[in-house]
Amino acid sequence: MRRVKHLIFWLVVIGIILLLFSSHVIAENDFHRQRYALVEIIKAEVKETGDFLNQEALDERVIDALLKVPRHEFVRDTERPYAYANRPLPIGHGQTISQPYIVAVMTDLLKLKKTDRVLEVGTGSGYQAAILAELVDSVYTLEIVEPLAKQAAENLKRTGYDAVHTRIGDGYYGWEEAAPFDGIVVTAVASHIPPPLIKQLKPGGRMIIPVGAQFMTQYLVLVTKDDDGKVTTRQILPVSFVPLTGKH
C-alpha cells in the first residue's frame, strides 16, 4: 500500500511539472507570435512615416533584434498581456517603457555597426539596452532612479544580456570613463542637447534624443558629429517622452 501511495504521489508531482512546463511553452509560443505581429505593425508604421525618417524600411539587423528580444520580460507582470501592443507601458516611478515603434526608429537612426560602443541614457526596464546589445559589442546604460536601475540589471541578467554595463547616475553627464561613443540614445526628453553628451560622442558618431518640454511639443532630434568634430542636428518627428531628470 505504501508503495502504491508513493507511486501515486510521484505521478501527481510529475503531472503537475508537465502541466506547468506545457503551459510555459504555450505562453512562450504565444509571445513569439505576438512579437512577429508587432514587428509587422512597426514595419507598416515606418513606411507610413517614411517622409519624416527619409527611409521607408528598417535595417534588417534592427528587425532581427526586435524579433529576438522578449519585451514581456522587461515589463511588470500586470502589463505582460500588453507587452506586444505598439504603445508605451508604465514600469513604475513615473517612468515608461517606450513604444516599440519609437525604440525601433531610434535604434535604426544610429546606423550601428557590430564593433560600435553605445551609451543609453535612461535604462528604464532595460529593453532598449537589450535591443542595442543585439547589434553592438559594447553597451553602457545609465538610470537615475535607483530601483529601476537595479530591476533593469536583473532583467538584463535574467534574459542573457548580462554583458551590458549598467550604472545608477545622472545621464545628463554621460559616462565619461567609457567615452567616446559611436552612438548615444537618450530615452527621456531634454530642454536642450546636453553638452557633456556631445563631447562624449565620437567624431563620425550619432546621437538620437527627444528635445522639448513635458506636455509641450517634443521632437526626436538626430545629432551627428563629422570627422572634424562639427555638429549638426535634424528634427525627425514629433514624440512624447517623460522628462530627463537630475540636478543639471
Active site (catalytic) residues: 98
Beta bridge partners of 167: 142
Using CA atoms, how far apart are residues 148 and 122, in angstroms rounded to an integer?
Answer: 10
DSSP H or E stretch at residue 89 = strand 89-92
CB atoms within 10 A of CB 205: 23
Q: How would DSSP label each residue in 136-182?
A: -SEEEEEESSHHHHHHHHHHHHHTT-TTSEEEES-GGG--GGG--EE
* C-alpha cell belonging to residue 18: 508537465
By the 8 A CB rule, do 227 and 202 touch? no
The set of residues, in sequence order, having a beta carbon less than 8 Å from that of 19 and lying 6+ positions away, is: none
Burial call 132-169: b when 16+ CB within 10 Å, e when fewer? bbbbbebbbbbbbbeebbebbbebbeebebeebbbebb
Using CA atoms, how far apart are residues 99 and 17, in angstroms rounded to an integer?
Answer: 36
